[in-house]
Amino acid sequence: MSTKKAISTSFVAIFILIITQIIAQSIASMFVIIKIPTGICNIIAGIIYAGLTYLILKMFISKIIKLPTSDFGMPKFAIKIRWILIAVLLPFVIKGSYLLIFNGKYVSSNMNGNQMFNTLSAGVAFTGIAAGFVEEMVFRGVILNALKKRWNIKVAVIVPSMLFGIVHVLGQDFSIGSCLLVIIAGTMVGVMFSMIAIESGSVWNSGIVHAIWNVVIIGGGLAIGEKMDKYSIMTYVLNSKDFAITGGEFGIESSVISLFGYIIVAGIAFFMIKSRKN
């Protein structure tokens, strides 16, 4: 694959992500107008977002790039048991560590039943499952493999991972310290997802880890941070104001504790790859 084709393919994949997200949210908004409950619309939006992204990427890869989707980390859908276990353990161990080790207090957002359903449906279906799989199809599927075909596996892992980290600070009014922490943690989580996709041979495995992480950490149930999250049913407000512990303005996803978890999981995947080669 030429340099021009690899770069253009990467930009097209990101463009598809943006467009499908807008389409999904627009269709869901139309359903809201005709009085379909917001919670149901959130679920519909998630299904459209993930399904439409997959279909457009599949057409783009097969019709424009003229290669099988399996070459871009999207073979027949299958998930390995070991990555399902990691997907569950990683967020629960990290979240449990905060609840057990660090002092804080539980603060309720005082939502009613309907508000809770709306919050959880958006957090689970759209921000959680759909966004997790879509981002994996784009970043660890199309972009990683396009760069790998043009350069090598190191470039393919590092460049999209750094891009993944930088994307999370765009448009945010964060301090310099928080921005650096987000970029470092975002890059490392990108490396972790890349290692999982490479080890397993598909984005479906990194997708399940990404999706469950999103659901547990930012899914709208119990948030953890230095201040109350009005978009979650309950928040465990930490007494600590150390931004390395709290993750600063971005939250615990960019904390050193989460960073340590990313490194461990990435290391496990890396050693699996190395042992297989040996």
pLDDT (tens digit, 9 = 90+) per residue, 208-223? 999 999 999 999 999 9
Q: Under DSSP, is residue 202 helix (H, G, I), strand (E, B) or coil?
A: coil
Q: What pLDDT is attached to residue 56?
A: 97
CA–CA dist 30, 34 (Å, integer): 7
Q: Which two tokens stand for residue 129?
A: 């499952």
pLDDT band at residue 276 using 50, 70 and 90 as cut-offs: confident
Q: What pLDDT is attached to residue 189?
A: 94
Q: What pLDDT is attached to residue 139?
A: 93
Q: Is the pLDDT of residue 42 over 80?
A: yes
Give per-residue pLDDT as tens, 170-213: 767 777 877 888 889 989 999 999 999 999 999 999 999 999 99
Q: Under DSSP, is residue 112 helix (H, G, I), strand (E, B) or coil?
A: coil
Q: Is the pLDDT of residue 168 over 80?
A: no
Q: What pLDDT is attached to residue 170?
A: 75
Which has the higher per-residue pLDDT, 176 or 63?
Answer: 63
Percent of the chain with pLDDT over 90: 77
Q: Parallel, antiparallel, or unpaired for β 222-225 and 234-238?
A: parallel
Phi, psi of 235 (to 5 degrees): -125, 135
Q: Which position has the token pair 């598909």?
A: 202
Please return the burial class of 7, using the count of CB atoms within 10 Å of its CB with bins 0-12, 13-18 and 19+: middle
Which has the higher per-residue pLDDT, 193 or 277?
Answer: 193
Mention every residue, 6+ apart, whose C-beta is less than 8 A from residue 30: none
pLDDT band at residue 271 using 50, 70 and 90 as cut-offs: very high
Give per-residue pLDDT as tens, 212-258: 999 999 999 999 988 888 889 999 999 988 888 888 878 899 899 99
pTM attached to this predicted model: 0.93
pLDDT band at residue 35 using 50, 70 and 90 as cut-offs: confident
Q: What pLDDT is attached to residue 1?
A: 81
Q: Parallel, antiparallel, or unpaired for β 234-238 and 104-108?
A: antiparallel
Helices (H), the chain: 3-33, 38-59, 81-101, 113-121, 131-135, 144-150, 153-167, 176-200, 203-218, 243-246, 256-277
Q: Is the pLDDT of residue 28 over 90?
A: yes
CA–CA dist 269, 229 (Å, integer): 33
pLDDT band at residue 277 using 50, 70 and 90 as cut-offs: confident
CA–CA dist 196, 71 (Å, integer): 16
Nearest alpha-carbon partner for 240 in 230, 227, 258: 227
Q: Which helix (H) or strand (E) holds 235?
A: strand 234-238
Q: Is the pLDDT of residue 143 over 90?
A: yes
Q: What pLDDT is attached to residue 199?
A: 95
Kindly report the average pLDDT of the chain as a whole number. Answer: 92
